[in-house]
Amino acid sequence: MNEMLILVDDQDQAIGVGEKMQVHRQGLLHRAFSVFVFDTQGRWLLQRRADGKYHSGGLWSNSCCGHPREGEATDAAARRRLREEMGFECELRHVARITYRLDVSDGLVEHEYDHVFVGRYDGRPQPDPAEASDWAWKPLPELWDALAGQPQEFSRWLRHIAEQTGRAEFERWQSLATR
C-alpha cells in the first residue's frame, strides 16, 4: 500500500492527500515532523539513515522524522515514528514550526510544513536497520562543528533547520528537553 501524505497550505491547513513519492517528485507542500532527542547530559541523538532509504541514505540526521497519516495527530505520529525508527518512546514537546523546500536527491523535493518536537531519553536506542544504520550521542558544540566542517555528511533538512534557526534556538530546544 502506498503511503499517503497530508497536503497543506502555508498555514498548515489540510487541503488534500497525495501519494508519497509523487508528492516528493512534484515538490508539493505537505505536513511533516522532525524529532530531536537529548539525554540528561544534553547530548543530541543523531541517526545515520539506512543506505536503502529512498533518499538521503547514509547521511546523519536528527533523531527521527516522518509524516503523519491522514486522521493521525502530528504528535502521535512523531511518537509512533520514534518507536518504529529508533525503538524507544519518550515524552515529546512541540517547540517550533518550520517551512522549507529542499532538493534532496534524484529529482525529489522535501517541501514541508515541519513540526519540530524535542524529548529526553537516557537509554540505548534499538533502531530498525531498515530505517537507521547507526546512531550517536553528540554534544551540541561537536554537532555544530561537524555541520559546519562536514556538511555533506548530514541530511539537507538537518543542515537547513540548523541554519534557519541558529545555535541559540538549538540551545533553547536542548534546555526544554532536558529540564
65 is catalytic: yes
145 Cβ contact partners less than 8 Å away, ≥ 6 residues apart: none
Q: How many angstroms separate the CA atoms of 45 and 61, rounded?
A: 9
Candidate list 3, 19, 64, 112, residue with the active-site label: 112
Residue 112 known to bind ligand: yes
112 is catalytic: yes
Cβ pair 146, 63 in contact under 8 A: no
* 79 CB burial (10 A radius; 0-12, 13-18, 19+): buried
Candidate list 65, 70, 72, 89, residue with the active-site label: 65
Residue 111 known to bind ligand: no
175 Cβ contact partners less than 8 Å away, ≥ 6 residues apart: none
Residue 110 known to bind ligand: yes
Q: How many angstroms separate the CA atoms of 105 and 96, rounded?
A: 26
- Alpha carbon 154 to its chain's center: 12
Residue 30 known to bind ligand: yes
Annotated binding site for Mn(2+): which residue ranges? 24, 30, 67, 110, 112
Annotated binding site for Mg(2+): which residue ranges? 85
Annotated binding site: which residue ranges? 24, 30, 67, 85, 110, 112
What amino acid positions are annotated as catalytic residues? 65, 112
